[in-house]
């Protein structure tokens, strides 16, 4: 059965997926969450198919959609930023951070 909002608009870059996978399943889940949200924006005409933009990453939504708890979220976001896979914007205490994918697609 189709569950509205739980799809990923392709194409998904194998290069990006492999880079995120080096940092564990939760890093891949964060990547997939970002791509899901970008796909929604593409469908609405708010983002081009080949572009990346900053996506808010709220605790509750991330856990509901891809199963990443907030304590793991922060650990992985910091690692992904350190490894230059994402650009991370912190929006102050109590506000969801935003992340943008930096890894090239290579296709």
- The 8 Å CB, 24+ separation contacts for 15-21 are 15/103, 15/104, 15/105, 15/106, 15/107, 16/101, 16/103, 16/104, 16/105, 19/85, 19/103, 20/80, 20/85, 20/103
Q: Would you state the pLDDT for residue 67?
A: 95
* pLDDT for the residue numbered 98: 97
Mean pLDDT in order along the chain per 10 residues (107 residues): 61 92 98 94 90 95 95 96 97 93 86
Which structure tokens are listed for 7?
Answer: 């799809």
The whole-number pLDDT of residue 107 equals 65
Domains along the chain with CATH numbers:
14-101 (1.10.10)
Indicate the helix (H) or strand (E) that contains 55. Answer: strand 55-56
Check residue 9 and give its pLDDT: 75
């Amino acid at each position: 059965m189709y569950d509205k909002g739980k799809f990923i608009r392709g194409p998904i870059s194998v290069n990006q997926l492999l880079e995120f996978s080096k940092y564990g399943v939760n890093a891949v889940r964060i990547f997939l969450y970002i791509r899901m949200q970008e796909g929604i924006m593409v469908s609405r005409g708010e983002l081009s198919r080949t572009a990346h933009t900053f996506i808010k990453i709220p605790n509750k939504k991330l856990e509901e959609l891809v199963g990443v708890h907030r304590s793991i979220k922060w650990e992985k976001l910091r690692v992904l930023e350190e490894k230059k896979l994402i650009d991370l914007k912190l929006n102050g205490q109590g506000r969801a951070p935003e992340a943008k994918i930096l890894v090239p697609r290579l296709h």
